[in-house]
Amino acid sequence: MRYGGSFVFILLSIVFQSLNGIFSKYAATGLEKVSLFTIITNAFYLLALVCLFLQALIWQQALHRYPLSFAYPFMSLMNFVVLFASALLFHEGITPFNIVGLVLVSLGITVLSRHYGERL
Protein backbone atom coordinates (compact mmCIF):
# COMPACT_ATOMS: atom_id res chain seq x y z
CA MET A 1 0.00 0.00 0.00
CA ARG A 2 1.35 3.41 -0.97
CA TYR A 3 1.03 6.37 1.31
CA GLY A 4 1.78 9.94 0.73
CA GLY A 5 0.52 13.36 0.39
CA SER A 6 1.59 16.65 1.71
CA PHE A 7 4.06 16.40 4.55
CA VAL A 8 3.01 19.93 5.45
CA PHE A 9 0.18 18.55 7.60
CA ILE A 10 2.66 16.80 9.88
CA LEU A 11 4.80 19.94 10.07
CA LEU A 12 1.82 22.17 10.83
CA SER A 13 0.74 19.77 13.56
CA ILE A 14 4.16 20.12 15.12
CA VAL A 15 3.99 23.92 14.90
CA PHE A 16 0.52 24.20 16.44
CA GLN A 17 1.29 21.71 19.21
CA SER A 18 4.47 23.62 20.01
CA LEU A 19 2.64 26.94 20.01
CA ASN A 20 0.12 25.43 22.41
CA GLY A 21 2.91 24.69 24.87
CA ILE A 22 4.46 28.13 24.46
CA PHE A 23 1.15 29.98 24.87
CA SER A 24 0.29 27.80 27.86
CA LYS A 25 3.56 28.78 29.52
CA TYR A 26 2.86 32.46 28.87
CA ALA A 27 -0.62 32.00 30.32
CA ALA A 28 0.69 30.24 33.42
CA THR A 29 3.39 32.81 34.11
CA GLY A 30 1.01 35.70 33.53
CA LEU A 31 -1.57 34.66 36.09
CA GLU A 32 -1.16 36.27 39.47
CA LYS A 33 -4.25 34.72 40.96
CA VAL A 34 -5.48 31.41 39.62
CA SER A 35 -9.23 31.19 39.23
CA LEU A 36 -11.55 29.91 36.54
CA PHE A 37 -12.29 33.46 35.41
CA THR A 38 -8.65 34.52 35.13
CA ILE A 39 -7.82 31.36 33.20
CA ILE A 40 -10.61 31.59 30.64
CA THR A 41 -10.09 35.32 30.10
CA ASN A 42 -6.34 35.02 29.61
CA ALA A 43 -5.49 35.73 25.95
CA PHE A 44 -2.58 33.29 25.94
CA TYR A 45 -4.75 30.53 27.30
CA LEU A 46 -7.31 31.20 24.58
CA LEU A 47 -4.55 31.16 21.95
CA ALA A 48 -3.37 27.82 23.34
CA LEU A 49 -6.89 26.42 22.94
CA VAL A 50 -7.09 27.70 19.37
CA CYS A 51 -3.75 26.03 18.62
CA LEU A 52 -5.00 22.76 20.10
CA PHE A 53 -8.11 22.93 17.95
CA LEU A 54 -6.13 23.67 14.78
CA GLN A 55 -3.62 20.97 15.60
CA ALA A 56 -6.42 18.41 15.98
CA LEU A 57 -7.92 19.35 12.60
CA ILE A 58 -4.59 19.31 10.80
CA TRP A 59 -3.50 16.10 12.54
CA GLN A 60 -6.55 14.35 11.11
CA GLN A 61 -5.42 15.36 7.63
CA ALA A 62 -1.93 14.03 8.33
CA LEU A 63 -3.36 10.71 9.53
CA HIS A 64 -5.52 10.52 6.42
CA ARG A 65 -2.36 10.59 4.32
CA TYR A 66 0.10 8.60 6.44
CA PRO A 67 -0.06 5.67 8.84
CA LEU A 68 -0.03 6.60 12.52
CA SER A 69 3.15 4.59 13.06
CA PHE A 70 4.90 6.84 10.52
CA ALA A 71 3.37 10.22 11.40
CA TYR A 72 3.39 10.10 15.19
CA PRO A 73 7.16 9.86 15.76
CA PHE A 74 7.54 13.15 13.92
CA MET A 75 5.54 14.83 16.66
CA SER A 76 8.61 14.37 18.84
CA LEU A 77 10.22 17.12 16.75
CA MET A 78 8.06 19.35 18.89
CA ASN A 79 10.71 18.79 21.59
CA PHE A 80 13.20 20.75 19.48
CA VAL A 81 10.85 23.66 18.99
CA VAL A 82 9.82 23.80 22.64
CA LEU A 83 13.38 23.43 23.97
CA PHE A 84 14.74 26.27 21.88
CA ALA A 85 11.65 28.44 22.38
CA SER A 86 11.87 27.94 26.15
CA ALA A 87 15.51 29.03 26.07
CA LEU A 88 14.82 32.08 23.90
CA LEU A 89 11.48 33.20 25.31
CA PHE A 90 11.63 32.11 28.95
CA HIS A 91 15.40 32.04 29.53
CA GLU A 92 15.29 28.39 30.55
CA GLY A 93 18.55 26.48 30.34
CA ILE A 94 19.57 23.89 27.79
CA THR A 95 21.54 21.08 29.40
CA PRO A 96 23.80 18.44 27.88
CA PHE A 97 21.05 15.93 28.73
CA ASN A 98 18.63 17.94 26.59
CA ILE A 99 21.05 17.79 23.68
CA VAL A 100 21.69 14.05 24.07
CA GLY A 101 17.95 13.42 24.24
CA LEU A 102 17.34 15.42 21.07
CA VAL A 103 20.12 13.56 19.26
CA LEU A 104 18.56 10.23 20.24
CA VAL A 105 15.13 11.41 19.11
CA SER A 106 16.62 12.56 15.81
CA LEU A 107 18.30 9.22 15.25
CA GLY A 108 15.06 7.40 15.95
CA ILE A 109 13.12 9.56 13.51
CA THR A 110 15.81 9.08 10.87
CA VAL A 111 15.71 5.31 11.22
CA LEU A 112 11.93 5.26 11.13
CA SER A 113 11.62 7.58 8.15
CA ARG A 114 14.16 5.57 6.16
CA HIS A 115 12.27 2.37 6.94
CA TYR A 116 8.97 3.84 5.81
CA GLY A 117 10.59 5.82 3.02
CA GLU A 118 11.30 2.57 1.25
CA ARG A 119 7.62 1.62 1.55
CA LEU A 120 6.07 4.98 0.60
pLDDT over 50 (residue 47) = yes
Cβ–Cβ < 8 Å for 74, 14: yes
| Domain boundaries defined on the chain | 8-119
Specify the pLDDT at position 1. Answer: 44
pTM: 0.82
pLDDT bucket at 86, cuts 50 / 70 / 90? very high
Cβ–Cβ < 8 Å for 109, 87: no
Reported as a single tens digit per residue, the pLDDT across 55-74 is 999 999 999 998 887 888 88
Section 92-107 average pLDDT? 92
pLDDT over 50 (residue 92) = yes
As a whole number of angstroms, the distance between CA 45 and CA 21 comes to: 10
